[in-house]
Amino acid sequence: EAAGEAEVRLLLQEARESIEAARSYRRELQQRLRGLHQAREQIKDSATLTRDVLEQHFSDLKGTLKKLLDERLMSLLQEVDVIEQESIKPLDECQKLIEHGVSTADDLLREGESAVDGDVGQQNEKLCNFTKKALHIQLDSLPEVPSLVDVPCLSAQLDDCLLTILKNQIFRHGTVASRPPVQLEEFVEKPGGILVRWCKVDDDFMAQDYRLQYRKSTASHFEDVYVGSETEFIVLHIDPNVDYQFRVCARGDGRQEWSPWSVPQIGHTTLVPHEWTTGLEGYSLSSRRNIALRNDSQSCGVLYSKAPTYFCGQTLTFRQTVGQPDRRDSLGVCVEQRNGDDSLQRDKAVCISTNGAVFVNGKEMTNQLPAVTSGSTVTFDMEVVQLGPCSNEGGNFKLRVTISSNNREVVFDWVLDQCCGSLYFGCSFSYPGWKVLVF
């Protein structure tokens, strides 16, 4: 009996496992059905959109071509009118002159016939007056009338090859692509931003520039956020926990037109943006409080972040405009805010000076980075390397720190006496003119 019960239990266990496997199999199949449905919808939606774009484009072309042809026809007709008017004007003047001559000759004929046929007593006087008048009119002078070969004979020269050229251009105009040559590849969350990466999927397409656009999920229009040759870009001013839609396209080498857009994808960040703390005399902040400007105030001190928003595993980036340097200047991270210090070159902090010197807990390292320059970036990357047990009361805690500046970097271990899940960042400058963007 015991053997029978064991066999039943085994069969029950195998049946439960088969049922769970069937459920899992069904879930996977349903997920694939959803994937197929999404793929079918994408094909249909993109086909509908492409038809609309083609119809609108060619409708616009028809309207534009008709307008251009009408304008050209009007221009040629006006040219015919001008030539006609300018050519007929001298003929009209000549006609008036001839008609006046005919009228004068008619009057002279009537006067001459009257003088010849008049009374004998008055005949002598009339004949003398008529003769003088005839001599004065210069009957041997006739106006010049142009021959037909000397006057314009208008015609239109219309080259039928235009139709051939247009036909060839029209039949080569436009293409339909089944896949864009570039697609979005990865979204990496950043504090108050998203690092967007993309890649080519068409090996035959030689990209010269890329164009990245985004829009908030509630917006109706995309806007440009990057145009250039890089294949990644950090989009800043992103609200946390809000979906944004991204798309990218490319421009081929030597071409003016952009390729079709990639398949739009959703990205978001859960990380709040880095902000400088407000109210410290000596520093002015931007409206988003991610840019700090050292002003003309004589007051000095360390400007800290509003909160410990830098977490290990992230990259903290400073981008600056330079002013007059000082050896006590600093850019870096620290365990805690501490009032009264004029630099991060102190205990429980790591930083880089504007001359490139690196300080760990207030001590200068032998390794040095290039001096900070305008527009350059200084980045901090940290990962946890724990030496011993760590509790709420503290313990041995080590962070591996990488500081990069101007294509060079230093790597070192930063040993702390307490666990640090998050860190503050800060800066200090002795002279005005320094401006720092943090992201």
Give tens-digit pLDDT for 155-165: 998 888 888 89
Question: Is the pLDDT reported for residue 306 higher than 80?
Answer: yes
CA pair distance 245, 267, nearest whole angstrom:
6
Written as six digits, the tokens of 136 are: 């004065």
Model confidence pTM above 0.75: no
Which letter does DSSP use for residue 229 in this model? S
198 contacts: CB under 8 Å, gap ≥ 6: 182, 183, 184, 185, 210, 212, 231, 232, 248, 262
Q: How far apart are CA 318 and CA 379, in angstroms?
A: 6
Quickly state the pLDDT bin for 120 (edges 50, 70, 90): low
309-324 pLDDT, tens digit per residue, is 999 888 999 999 999 9
Residue 419 pLDDT more than 60? yes
Reference 429, options 318, 345, 337, 326; nearest CA is 326
Cα–Cα distance between 100 and 426 in angstroms, integer?
Answer: 103
In the chain, what are the domains?
A: 1-172 (no CATH), 182-267 (2.60.40.10), 283-438 (2.60.120.920)
Least confident of 11-25, 128-142, 349-363: 128-142
Query: What sign for the dihedral angle of Cα 68, 74, 80, 85?
Result: negative
Give the DSSP H/E element, type plus range, for residue 382: strand 377-385
Q: CA-to-CA distance for 236 and 273, rounded, in angstroms?
A: 9
pLDDT at 118 over 80: no
For 381-390, the pLDDT digits (tens) are: 999 886 555 5
DSSP codes joined into one string, 2-60: HHHHHHHHHHHHHHHHHHHHHHHHHHHHHHHHHHHHHHHHHHHHHHHHHHHHHHHHHHH
∠ at Cα 236 (433, 182), nearest 5°? Answer: 130
- The arithmetic mean of pLDDT across residues 14-29, rounded, is 94
Under 8 Å between Cβ of 237 and 193: yes
Return the CA Rg of the chain: 45
pLDDT tens digits along 218-234:
888 999 999 999 999 99
pLDDT level of residue 303 (50, 70, 90 thresholds): very high
In the block, tokens 């940290």 appear at 382
| pLDDT 10s digits, 26-84 | 999 999 999 999 889 989 988 998 999 999 999 999 999 999 999 999 999 999 999 99
Q: From the CB of residue 193, how many other CB atoms can be counted at a distance below 10 Å?
A: 21
Express each pLDDT in 88-105 by its tens digit.
998 998 899 889 888 888
pLDDT at 46: 87
Q: Which residues of 34-52 are buried (b: 16+ CB within 10 A; e: fewer)?
A: eeeeeeeeeeeeeeeeeee
Q: Closest Cα to residue 290, out of 308, 307, 310, 276?
A: 276
Sign of CA dihedral 361, 271, 303, 407: positive
Predicted local confidence at residue 357, as pLDDT = 96
Nearest to 270 by CA among 306, 225, 309: 309
How far is CA 393 from each of CA 207, 291, 384, rounded to the nearest angstrom?
56, 36, 18
Counted residue by residue, the chain has a size of 439
pLDDT value for 122 = 65
Residue 2 CB contacts under 8 Å (≥ 6 apart), including other chains: none
In this prediction, residue 364 carries a pLDDT of: 95
How far is C-alpha 166 from the geometric centre of its chain's CA atoms?
32
With cut-offs at 50, 70 and 90, classify the pLDDT of residue 172.
confident
Rounded Cα gap, residues 34 and 195, in angstroms: 28
Cα–Cα distance, 55 to 64 (Å, whole number): 14
Three-state SS at 130: helix
